[in-house]
Amino acid sequence: MLCKQRSVMCYVLLPSCILFSTLFSVSSFDSNSQEIPTFGKYLVSLGSKRLLAENSGKYLVSSGAKRLLAENSGKYLVSSGVKRLLADNSGDYVSNSALILAEGRTYRKDPLNDFKRYTGGWNISEKHYWASVAYTGAPIFILAGIWFVVFGVCLVVIALYYCCCRRPPYGYSRIAYALSLILLILFTVAAIIGCIVLYTGQGKFHSSTSNTLDYVVDQANQTAENLKDVSEYLAAAKRIGVDQVFLPANVQTDIDEIQTKINSSATTLATRTADNSDDIKHLIDSVRLTLIILSAVMLLITFIGFVFSIFGMQSFVYILVIITWILVAGTFILCGVFLVLHNATADTCVAMNEWVQNPTAHTALDDILPCVENITAQETLNKTKEVTSQLVNVINQVITNVSNVNFSPVFVPLYYNQSGPLLPTLCNPFNPDLLERKCSSGEVDLNNATKVWKNFVCEVSSSGICITTGRLTPAIYNQMAAGVNVSYGLYHYGPFLVSLQDCSFVRQTFTDVHTTYCPGLRKYSRYIYIGLLLVSVAVMLSILFWVIYGRERRHRVYTKEHVPKPVGDFEQEKQT
Ligand SMILES: *[C@@H]1O[C@H](CO)[C@@H](O)[C@H](O)[C@H]1NC(C)=O
Ligand SMILES: *[C@@H]1O[C@H](CO)[C@@H](O)[C@H](O)[C@H]1NC(C)=O
Ligand SMILES: *[C@@H]1O[C@H](CO)[C@@H](O)[C@H](O)[C@H]1NC(C)=O
Ligand SMILES: *[C@@H]1O[C@H](CO)[C@@H](O)[C@H](O)[C@H]1NC(C)=O
Ligand SMILES: *[C@@H]1O[C@H](CO)[C@@H](O)[C@H](O)[C@H]1NC(C)=O
Ligand SMILES: *[C@@H]1O[C@H](CO)[C@@H](O)[C@H](O)[C@H]1NC(C)=O
Ligand SMILES: *[C@@H]1O[C@H](CO)[C@@H](O)[C@H](O)[C@H]1NC(C)=O
Ligand SMILES: *[C@@H]1O[C@H](CO)[C@@H](O)[C@H](O)[C@H]1NC(C)=O
Ligand SMILES: *[C@@H]1O[C@H](CO)[C@@H](O)[C@H](O)[C@H]1NC(C)=O
């Protein structure tokens, strides 16, 4: 009798014990991530959709971050000595007082530092940050451990019990039987709902991660393409003869140097993007596959276990229980991983936004991104304008002083028998003060000057003298075209280069990611861990009730066999 009492206690206590430890560990989990306590509610009101569509904006802007934003808005902080994308290294940093990114969100316990609060904010090169994020999954990892150990011990105890003190089952109670059946059905339904949540969640998670990745890859791709274009225009600099009329040698080497840098930046960007995006794509796809398989397997197991249990196939149930015991532990761990992932994603989203909002502050992101100060960027922009303008001036001087003048044959290198209609001059897009200038009539635009001038090229003799009408020899034309190309490249892509240099391009990208992609990423990573938690808890409880119901059922059958009943009832019972 005692033995039986104890095993009943075990049956009844184990589910409630696990349920309570879930609730306890989850609600005692203190973090600022306010979504965690909703697990508790979730377990109680299974399948409540309202909680899934939870208000994500609540902890989006933490009060700490708001305070910091207000404090720093007046200060002028300058970014630290970061790697420079382009040539310029002149900008020294004045101050390095730092803005802590996502401070409110990342104020968590740090297991690497005696569980003191971590205050460094979002910083992916800081191991304490990762430790504190990983710690947010601790309740679920602990739950997985508890489940694994406690249920394992229970299995051993049950096995021993069956070996040592097995006795004819008796003590059938109609209420216990009905209750266990109802709970079995309830948890089976809950597990099925969990599988559905998980399945739909993974679909949405996959598409939102893929879209984000595509957007970022596309941005990087465009940048690489632009850089390659710039590089091609600058390649023209190589064709500008040093011994010729214009473009001194030092300017040419300068341009060459810039081109090499741009070229290598473009190549690095393109290859890194390709490599990383391939890796991330594979990762996303395997996550998707894992989740699909997991939800399918869990659904199948729930169903099979339910059927086995209902039809009293005890030995199958026990095999299934052992398999599922391990699967549930694995699912809990996966759930913890997704919770950590969700928190890290949300931190990153907040950090990106704060970084965009505080362009002058020094933050952890500046260690990763090679941005220069705005002043340096403006100087670069000035320089590109200057070079453009000077090149145009040089070309125009050649046109007005050489090509368009009818020299007498004694002025040899200037005379090359130029004749015919006058060459139109090139439109300078900038005034001497580097402000934008409108072209006057009769000037040709930078983008089609080469096409227009093509009509003025003459045929030359072996000595390089025009033998047909025209004002440009092919050699001079090529050099002028090369000069135009360099000018055009700098004029057209200058602002783009500067936007790379001062990271305004990255800021725009981050803004887009924050507003367009972050809400989905956060929402659907939450879907997944809630789905995983729901599945694992529901399946966990289902397992218990497979066993409990199986036992009650055996007792019922035994009791019915030993307490004579009308024949019809007995037959009916045997058939089930
Ligand atoms: C000027 O640039 C265009 C586009 O990159 C290129 O196709 C063309 O060959 C270049 N011309 C010269 C003379 O370098
Ligand atoms: C720039 O890259 C192209 C290929 O995209 C290569 O052919 C060229 O030699 C490179 N130029 C320099 C200066 O590195
Ligand atoms: C950009 O993407 C297109 C198509 O996705 C690809 O063909 C091209 O090679 C990419 N460019 C770079 C520089 O990666
Ligand atoms: C980020 O972490 C690294 C490594 O600990 C540290 O050197 C760096 O100063 C941190 N950055 C900020 C802004 O705190
Ligand atoms: C840089 O300064 C210019 C004006 O000097 C301003 O128009 C631009 O928005 C600034 N860019 C950033 C990223 O602060
Ligand atoms: C850029 O050039 C303009 C006009 O010459 C000048 O007023 C401005 O100070 C320059 N800016 C920088 C950052 O050199
Ligand atoms: C070319 O013409 C400009 C005026 O348009 C004049 O100032 C300059 O000295 C001339 N240069 C040569 C080399 O003739
Ligand atoms: C050159 O381009 C300008 C503006 O881009 C256009 O107005 C003009 O007609 C073009 N000229 C030729 C010959 O294509
Ligand atoms: C100079 O060009 C004209 C055509 O414009 C041609 O008739 C003449 O023979 C050329 N003179 C020499 C010396 O080649």
Distance CA 89, CA 79 (A): 13
3-class SS of residue 430? strand
262 C-alpha to center of ligand 8: Å? 29
pLDDT tens by residue, 410-465: 877 788 888 889 999 999 999 988 889 998 888 999 988 999 999 999 998 988 88
- Helices 314-357, 63-72: inter-axial angle, 10-degree rounding: 20
Ligand 3 pocket by Cβ (under 6 Å): 221, 224-225, 270
pLDDT tens by residue, 348-389: 999 999 989 887 778 888 777 777 777 878 888 888 888 888
Average pLDDT of the segment spanning 74-100:
37
Contact 143, 38 (CB under 8 A): no
The dihedral formed by the CA atoms of 446, 452, 453 and 459, expressed in degrees to the nearest 10: 150
223 C-alpha to center of ligand 3: Å? 10
pLDDT at 240: 65
447 C-alpha to center of ligand 2: Å? 23
Rg, the chain, Cα only:
37
Nearest ligand (C-alpha, residue 400):
7
pLDDT tens by residue, 100-134: 888 888 899 999 989 999 998 898 888 999 999 99
pLDDT at 56: 27
102 C-alpha to center of ligand 4: Å? 14
Listed in sequence order, the DSSP H helices in 502-566 are 504-512, 518-562
Exposed / middle / buried, residue 161 (Cβ in 10 Å: 0-12, 13-18, 19+): middle
Mutate to test the pocket of ligand 5, among 355, 358, 374, 510 (most ligand atoms within 8 A of CB): 374
Mutate to test the pocket of ligand 1, among 229, 232, 252 (most ligand atoms within 8 A of CB): 232
Write the residue with the smallest CA distance to atom 12 of ligand 5: 374
The number of the ligand 5 atom at minimal distance from the alpha carbon of 502 is 13
Residue 460 DSSP code: B
- Place 326 in a pLDDT band, splitting at 50, 70 and 90: very high
Mutate to test the pocket of ligand 4, among 126, 129, 354, 363 (most ligand atoms within 8 A of CB): 126
The number of the ligand 4 atom at minimal distance from the alpha carbon of 367 is 11
The number of the ligand 7 atom at minimal distance from the alpha carbon of 402 is 14
Distance CA 247, CA 240 (A): 7
Write the residue with the smallest CA distance to atom 12 of ligand 7: 401
Is the CB of 359 inside a 6 Å radius of any atom of ligand 5? Answer: yes
Sign of CA pseudo-dihedral 556, 560, 563, 565: positive
Listed in sequence order, the DSSP H helices in 358-469 are 374-398, 449-453
Range from 74-83, 283-292, 487-496 that averages highest in pLDDT: 283-292
**Average pLDDT over the chain, rounded to whole?**
77
pLDDT tens by residue, 171-192: 678 888 899 999 999 999 999 9
